[in-house]
Structure 1
Amino acid sequence: MKTFQSRILRTYSILIGVILAGLGIVLGQLFPIFVDHSANKMVDSRVESVSTYLETTELTKEEQMKINQMITSDFKGHENLVEDHSLWLFLFFTLLAAFLLALFLGASIFKKYAQPIDHLTETAMELARGNYRIRAFEDDFSGMSKLSNSLNILARNLHDISVMRETEKERLKTLIENMGSALIMIDRNGLITIVNRSFLQQLQISIENVDGKLFRKIGLPEKIEDFIDKLFLTESSSREQIQIKRGLHTYYMDAYGAPVIGEHGRWLGIVVVMHDITELIKLEQIRKDFVANVSHELKTPVTSIKGFSETLLFGAYKNEETLLSFLEIIHKESNRLQMLINDLLDLSKVEQVGYEVSLKKVRLTDILERGLEMTSHLVEEKNMEIETTVDDSVHVLGDMNRLIQIMMNLLANAITYSPENTTVHVNIFKNEQYGIFQIQDEGIGISKSEINRIFERFYRVDRARSRNSGGTGLGLAIVKHLVEAHHGLIKVESEVGEGTTFTVYIPIAKS
């Protein structure tokens, strides 16, 4: 693109050239006339001088006249000298020199005043392209300093605004990308304009299949599509709880949608925010089940105690055999009630936020010995055997009393859910990170659909057998929380009719 300096210099050179050419033509026409007039005047003056001189001589009139005529004709014969081409050459070179001189002076002047204009123009164009870092030269000599200063102030302000805008854009992008809730924005044509990471993760969709696509073409669950359609139809905010089934699992989403309104009330599209409330729904269901189970578990022993005590009060106490039988039942039910209350207190304690155990170096074989002592009567009642394969060198970092509680619960469960005359295998070993004890029974086993639920409070695989054995249904829930308090892991493997294996990992104690 031609600069302002080159354009004005070209215009100036054409103008000067035209002026000088016109001047040359005029001078070329007028100069011969002037020269002829001057020559005639000079000839007349010379002839007159000669005539005056001849009059002083002794020549006759006729001789004087002939001499005058000869001089006059001689001067007249040289008039064609003014038509020589040297006159035009002289004019041409004179005017060319004047043109070059004027062009040189004009170029110097235009460079001084036009170049800053070109620079300011280029600076303004760069600002228009979005380059806010460019600056104009502030030259007082050119007279453009005020304009340059104003342009630089504008550039600095635009740069500050651009930086602020980019910062806000990055903050907004970071906020949208890292918010826990799923977010999707759809324009008025149904095309997706914004979607965050949580949305893609929760609905298991890749960004390539979403950005700029029609919301109906990306495989959204039907209920979410219906919710979006409702927002488009009503053009008003709405809230709805959506249930999504994916395979064997059910997810619950709390969806809130609202229209996006631009300037002058122009409707631009909708935005939908979805919160995953699956865990809240599960916790609410667990709470309801817990209240129902506690009420049921408390009702049974309380009803027994109340019924037998009323029977005794109504006269059954007079029969000593009946009295002793009823008192034994009341004692048994009160023990069961006390065990349930203690387990509830233990569970409440280990579930508290910030619950910690006192960690010390403990040998796992000592834990096993205490656990076997406390469950030996159960083994004898069912004529069972306990086979152990232990590594005496395994030391873990744990609370001895709580580890005994874990061991005793798992041993009691293995014995309770195993038939008579079977064997429970206990193994103790270690790896680089954990001390491990494994308890394997030959009992009824657990189906795969129930394995994920056995650590829930009051959940029983065989409700009749566990209740008759005196279990509260809270043992495994307590075990799970105690293992987690030790920063350990617990795993379950089971086959129905073949038995169950519980494996507990407790962090090993560094020597």
Structure 2
Amino acid sequence: MRTFQSRILRTYSILIGLILAGLGVVLGQLFPVFVDRSAQSVISSKMDTLSDYLSTTDLTKNEQQAVIQQMSSNLNSDVSISEQHSLWLFLFLTFLIAFLIALLLGSSIFKKYAQPIEHLTETAMELARGNYRIRAFEDDFSGMSMLSNSINILARNLHDISVMRETEKERLKTLIENMGSALIMIDRTGIVTIVNRSFLEQLQISLENIDGKLFSKIGLPEKIEEFIDKLFLTESSSREQIQFQRNLHTYYKDAYGAPVIGEHGKWLGIVVVMHDITELVKLEQVRKDFVANVSHELKTPVTSIKGFSETLLYGAYKNEETLLSFLEIIHKESNRLQVLINDLLDLSKVEQVGYEISLQKVRLSDILNRGLEMTTHLVEEKNMMIESIVDEEVYVLGDTNRLIQIMMNLLANAINYSPENTTVRVNIFKNQKYGIFQIRDEGIGICESEINRIFERFYRVDRARSRNSGGTGLGLAIVKHLVEAHHGLIEVESKVGEGTVFNVYIPIAKS
């Protein structure tokens, strides 16, 4: 690509050449006339001199006239040819020297003024390409200093704007990616343009299946698609609580959608933000269930105590047999009420934020022995057997009393939910991170859909059997919180009619 300097120098050289050539042609036409006149004057003077000389000789007048004519013809011919050659040679050399001098001067002048223009042009082109770090050379001598200074100010301003834009872009990207709510932006044609990480995680969709596709083709739940369609139809803000199922789980979303309006009121698309309120809805349901269950659980023993005590006050106390029977029932119901209240207090304590336990090195076999001692009467009542395989060297970091409480609850459940003449198997072992105790029964089992709910407060797999066994429905909820307080895990495996296995993982104590 030819530079500005070479193009202007070429144009200048052609222009100077044409001017000099035209001037040469004009001079070439005028000089012969001048030369002819000069030559005739010289020849005339010489002919006069020759005529004077011939008059002194013996030649006749005719002979003299013939000699003069011959000499005049020869002289005119010789002078014309020599003068014309000399003239054209002189003109060529003169104009060639003038052309070279003009070219040299023009090249120097153009270099002085064209190079800054070329540099400014290159700087402007780099700015147009997005290279805002380039700067123009400021030269006062070339007369381009004001233009160079203006371009440099423009470059600095563009660089500052670019840096600010990139910073804002990164901030916005970080905000969108790390916000806890799911966000999706759809243009006016229905193409998905922006989604954040929370959206992909909450709806379990990969970015490859979304980017640049129609929102109706990416596998969104039907309720969400209906909400988006509503936004496109109304072109106004809307808020709605959406419930949908995915992978056998029910999710709840608080969705807010609004149109995106650009400059001059141009409608660009919509944006939807969804807050996951699944846990809040579940907690609200648990709260409602808890209030209902507590009311129900308290109502039964209180009603019994009140009814039997009123009967006694109305005269039944006079019959000793009836008195003893009613007092025994009142005592049993009051004990049940006391157990329920104690369990509620324990559960309330372990659910408190910041609840801490006293951790120390404990041997799991000792915990098992204490638990077996306290449940012996239950085993004997149902003619059951306890089999155990114990690693005596399993030491964990835990609270002795709380670990006994965990062991007692799980052993009591295994016994209460198993038929008579069956076996409960207890294993104690360890892996690299946890000490593990496993309790396996041959009881009624738990169906798969209920396994995730057994740790809820007051939830019972078999309500009649739980109530007959004296259970409050809070034991497994307490166990779960106590295990978590030990930074451990609890797992459940069960099959209906075959039995249930509880695996409790407690971090091992370092030597």
Which category describes the TM-score, using the shorter chain as reference length? Answer: over 0.9
| Aligned twin of 2:163 | 163
Q: Which amino acid aligns with 1:77?
A: N
Paired with 2:507 and 2:193, the residues of 1 have a C-alpha distance of: 49
Q: Deviations over 1:301-329 (max 9, x none)?
A: 11111111111111111222222221221
CA offsets, 1:368-414, max 9 Å, x none?
Answer: 11111222222222222222211111100001111011011111111
Give the C-alpha shift of residue 296 in structure 1. Answer: 0.5
Aligned match of 2:389: 389
> Would you say the 8 A contact 1:50–1:68 is kept in 2?
no
Shift of 1:68: 10
Please name the residue that 1:13 is paired with: 13
Q: CA deviation at 1:502?
A: 1.0
Secondary structure (helix, strand or coil) at the match of 2:141 reads: helix
Range that drifts further, 184-193 or 284-293: 184-193
Report SS of the residue matched to 1:245. Answer: strand
Task: Confirm or deny: 8 A CA contact 2:444 2:498 kept in the other structure.
Answer: yes
Separation (CA, whole Å) in 2 of partners of 1:468 and 1:454:
18
Distance in 2 (CA, whole Å) between partners of 1:501 and 1:466 is 18
Q: Is it true that 1:209 corresponds to 2:209 in the alignment?
A: yes
Quote how far apart the aligned CAs of 1:489 are. 0.9
Write the distance in 1 (CA, Å) between the matches of 2:212 and 2:63: 114
CA distance in 1, matches of 2:267, 2:456: 49
Q: CA deviation at 1:354?
A: 1.7
Note the alpha carbon deviations across 1:11-49, whole angstroms, 9 max, x for none. 211110111001111111111222222233344556677
CA contact (8 A) 2:382 2:420 kept: yes
Give me the identity figure in percent: 82
Which segment drifts farther, 486-495 or 34-43? 34-43
CA drift of 1:77 comes to 3.0
Tell me how far 1:90 sits from its aligned partner.
2.9
Unmatched 5+ stretches in structure 2: none
Q: CA deviation at 1:62?
A: 9.4
Instruction: State the shift of 1:459 in Å.
Output: 0.7
The CA deviation at 1:422 is 2.1
Map Cα deviations across residues 87-139 of structure 1 (whole Å, 9 max, x no partner): 32332232122212211221121011111101111211121122212221222
CA contact (8 A) 1:384 1:421 kept: yes
Tell me the equivalent position of 1:108.
108
Task: Name the residue aligned to 1:77.
Answer: 74
- Could you tell me how far apart the structure 2 residues matched to 1:235 and 1:105 are? 71
SS at match of 2:255: strand
Aligned residue runs from structure 1 range 49-448, under 5 A: 59=56, 74=71, 77-80=74-77, 81-83=79-81, 84-448=84-448
Amino acid across the alignment from 2:96: L
Structure 1's consecutive aligned runs of 4 or more residues displaced over 4 angstroms after TM superposition are 43-51, 57-73
| Cα separation, 2, equivalents of 1:256 and 1:209 | 23
TM-score normalised by length of structure 1: 0.93
TM-score where L is the length of structure 2: 0.93
Q: Which amino acid aligns with 1:420?
A: E
**Following the alignment from structure 1 to structure 2, what is the Cα–Cα distance between the partners of residues 308 and 63?**
192
Deviates more, 1:255-264 or 1:36-45: 36-45
Q: Secondary structure at the match of 2:492?
A: strand
8 Å contact kept, 2:187–2:270? yes
- Alpha-carbon offset, residue 60 of structure 1: 8.9
Query: What is the CA–CA distance in structure 2 between the aligned matches of 1:76 and 1:30, rounded to whole Å?
Result: 23
Greater Cα offset, 467-476 or 411-420: 411-420
Give the drift of 1:479.
0.3
CA displacement at 1:295 relative to structure 2: 0.6
**SS of aligned partner of 2:375:** helix
How much does 1:484 deviate? 0.8
Moved more, 90-99 or 116-125: 90-99
How many residue pairs were aligned?
Answer: 508
CA distance in 1: counterparts of 2:226 and 2:440, whole angstroms: 51
Query: Is the contact made by 1:444 and 1:498 (CA closer than 8 Å) also made in structure 2?
Result: yes
C-alpha deviations, 1:57-92, integer Å up to 9, x for none? Answer: 995999999989967964663233233434323322
For residue 82 of structure 1, what is the amino acid of its counterpart? S
**Separation in 2 of the partners of 1:16 and 1:379?**
123
1:242 partner SS: strand
Code of the residue aligned with 1:350 in structure 2: it is V
Q: Are the aligned partners of 1:382 and 1:421 in contact in 2 as well (CA < 8 Å)?
A: yes
Q: Contact 2:47/2:72 (CA < 8 Å) preserved in 1?
A: no
The answer to whether 1:483 aligns with 2:480 is no
The answer to whether the Cα contact below 8 Å between 2:43 and 2:75 also exists between their aligned partners in 1 is no
CA–CA distance in 1 between the matches of 2:469 and 2:110?
A: 109
Moved more, 199-208 or 123-132: 199-208
**Any idea what SS the aligned residue of 1:240 has?**
strand
Q: Secondary structure at the match of 2:15?
A: helix
| CA contact 1:43–1:72 (8 Å) conserved in 2 | no
